[in-house]
Structure 1
Amino acid sequence: MRSWRLDRPSPSGQLDLSRATSLVTSIGCADSNAFAAEVLKLLGNAAGISQCTVFAYEFGTRPRTISVADHRGGRFLRDVADAYAKRFYALDGNQTIVSAASSQKSSVVLLHQQTSEDVLHEDYRAACYHRPNVSGRLSLLLQPSQGVWLSVNLYRDRRHGHFHQNEIALIEAYAPLIAQAAGHHYTLCGQIQTGIPQLMLTRVRGICPDLSRRELDVLCGVLEGRTAQEIGELMGIKPSSVVTYQKRAYRRLGISSQRQLFALCLAPGRN
C-alpha cells in the first residue's frame, strides 16, 4: 500500500483524442454510470483495468456512489459498491489519506495504490477484491470543495497481476484530465444530491470533532428523517446498534433528543 501526490506528471504515450472527448461529453450525463464507463474505456485496455467506481466522501459521512462501470455489466459492481459503503469504507486506505489531509480545499490530486494483500479484513477483501476478481486498485483522490473528497477507483483485473510501473505512469499522465472531469461531473450531478442534512452534519462535526464515523453516519440518517431500522439497513448493522451509536453521539453533543439535535444544527452563530 502506498500513496503519493501528483504534482507535475510526466506525459507518456499519446492521448486518444476521441476517448478524451467522450470522457468530457459524459460530464453531467443523465446516465449516472456514463462517467465511470468512459474512464474505463479511456484506460481499461491500456492498463488492464476492468472496473471503475467513483465515490463522494461528504463531510465525514459514509461514501455515496456517484458512478460505476464494469466490463461484465449488470448490477454486480453496484452491489459491491453498496457493500463497501455500508460495511467496509472505514477500513479502506483511502479513508486514512483523506482524514490526514488538510481540511482546507486543495487542488492537489493524490494517488493511492492498494492491493488485495494490503487488505487484512477477510470480509472486506472477499467482497471488494476476490469476488469482483481484482488484484488491486489505484485511486485518484481529489477535493472539489471544502469538506468533500472524490475517489476515482481503478480496479486491476486479477488475470493481469499487479500494476506495472509503465501502467501507473500512464494513469498518472491521464490523472489530471480525469480528476478535472470528475470534479466538474460532481458539481453538475453529484453535488445536487447533497442536501441540507449533510450540510447540517458539517456543523455538528465542527461542534464535536471527536464524533466517530459510525456516530456521524447515524446522525446523518437521523437528520434525513430515517428510522433506526432504515439507518441500520443503510449501514449494514442492527437497529439496536443504531440506537447505541445515536445515544453515544447525543452524549458527546450534550443533547438528549432529535429535536435538540436539529436545534443545535440550526442555532445561529455556529460555524
Structure 2
Amino acid sequence: MRYWRVERKSSEGQLDLGRAFDLMSAIGHEDVNAMAGAILKTVASAAPIVQCTIFAYEFGNRPRTVAVADRRGGRFLQDIADSYARHYYALDGNQSVIAPASSRQDCAIVLHQQASDEIAHAGYRAACYQRPNVSDRLSLLVQPAGDIWLSVNFYRDSAQGQFGPGEIAAIETLAPLFAHGAQHHYRLNGQPLQGAGPMMLASLRRHCPDLSKRELDVLRGVLEGLTAVEIADAMGLQPSSVITYQKRAYKRMGISSQRQLFALCLGPQAA
C-alpha cells in the first residue's frame, strides 16, 4: 500500500470533449450514480477500469455511498459498497490518510493504491476484492471540508493485473478534474443536511478522541434513537456486541446512561 499527494502537471494529449461534457453534466444530476458513471467513462482513456465508487467520510462516521458505477451492470457493486461500509471500512488503508491527525485544509488531492494481496484481513479481502474479482484499487482522496473526505475509487479486474506506472501517471493527470467534479457534485447533490446525529457525534469525538470507530458507530445509532437490535443489524453484529461497545464507550467518556450521553453532546457543562 502506498499513498502520495498529487502535484499538478501539464496534461499530455487531449481529453474527449464528449466525455468531459458528460462529466460536467453529471454534477448535481438527479440520478445518484451519474457522477460515478461519468468518471468511469472518462477514466477509460487512462486505463481499463471496471468499477468506480464514491464514498463520503463525514465527521468520523462510517462511510456513506454517494455513487457507484459498474461496467457489468446490476446492483452487485452497491451490495459490495454496503458491505464495506458496514463491516470493513476501518481496515481500509485510506484511514491512514483521512484520520483526524492527518487532516488537511489546503485542498490537497491524495492518491492511495491498495492491491488485493496487500490486505491481511481475510474477510475484507474476500468481500471487497476476491468476490467482485478485483486485483487492485486506486483511490483519489480529497477534503471538501474540515471533517469530511471524499474517496473516488477505481477498481481493476483480476484479469488485468495491477495498475502499471504509466496508467497511474495518466490517472494522476486527470485527478484534479475528478476531484473537483466530485466535490461540486457532493455539495449540490450528495451532501445531506447536517442533522443532530452527525453534529453530536463530532462533539463526542472532540470530547473523547480515544473512541474507536466501532464505538462511534454504536453511539451514532444510539443518538439516532435505534435499539441495540437495530444497531446490530445495521453493523452486522450481535446485539450483545453492540451493548459491549456501548458500555465501553460510556466508560471512556465517564458517563453511565443515555441521558448523560445526550447531555454531553449538547453542552460541555451538562454532563
Structure 2 unaligned blocks of 5 or more: none
- CA root-mean-square deviation: 1.6
Answering whether residue 192 of structure 2 is matched by residue 192 of structure 1, we say: yes
CA 1:260–1:96 in structure 2 vs 1: closer, same or farther (change >3 Å)? same
User: Contact 1:13/1:170 (CA < 8 Å) preserved in 2?
Assistant: no
Tell whether the 8 Å contact from 2:46 to 2:171 is kept in structure 1 after alignment: no
CA deviations on 1:97-124 (whole Å, 9 max, x unpaired) are: 2116533523000000111111111111
Alignment of 1:85-234 (within 5 A): 85-99=85-99, 102-234=102-234
Q: Residue 36 of structure 2 corresponds to which residue in structure 1?
A: 36
State the alpha-carbon separation in 1 of the partners of residues 45 and 229 from structure 2: 43
> Matched residues in 2 for 1:33 and 1:25: separation?
12
State the identity as a percent: 61
In the TM superposition, what whole-angstrom CA distance separates every residue of 1:211-239 from its partner, at most 9, and x where no partner exists?
Answer: 11111111111111111111111111111
1: CA distance between counterparts of 2:215 and 2:261? 13
TM-score (norm. length: structure 2):
0.95
- Is the 1:12–1:169 contact (alpha carbons within 8 Å) kept by the matching residues of 2? no
Regions of 4+ moved over 6 Å: none
Query: Is the Cα contact below 8 Å between 2:137 and 2:156 reproduced in 1?
Result: yes
Q: How many residues align?
A: 270
SS in 2 for 1:136: strand
| Residue identity opposite 2:259 in structure 1 | R
Give 1:73 deviation, angstroms: 1.1
Residue 14 of structure 1, CA deviation: 1.4
Q: Per the alignment, do residues 101 and 113 of structure 1 end up closer, same or farther by CA in structure 2, a change over 3 Å counting? A: farther
TM-score, normalised with respect to structure 1: 0.95
1:194 and 1:185 map into 2 onto residues whose CA distance is 17
1:70-89 mapped onto 2 (5 Å cutoff): 70-89=70-89
Counterpart code for 1:263: A
3-state DSSP of counterpart to 1:155? strand
1:76 CA displacement: 0.1
Distance 2:120 2:7 in 1: 30
The one-letter code sitting in structure 2 at the alignment partner of 1:149 is W
The residue type paired with residue 42 of structure 1 is T
Structure 1: 5+ residue stretches without partners: none
- Supply the AA of the counterpart residue of 1:15: L
Q: How far apart are the structure 1 equivalents of 2:12 and 2:100?
A: 30
Task: Give the structure 2 partner of residue 12 of structure 1.
Answer: 12
Q: Which digits, 9 at most, give the CA deviation of each residue in 1:125-148, with x for residues without a partner?
A: 111111111110000001010111
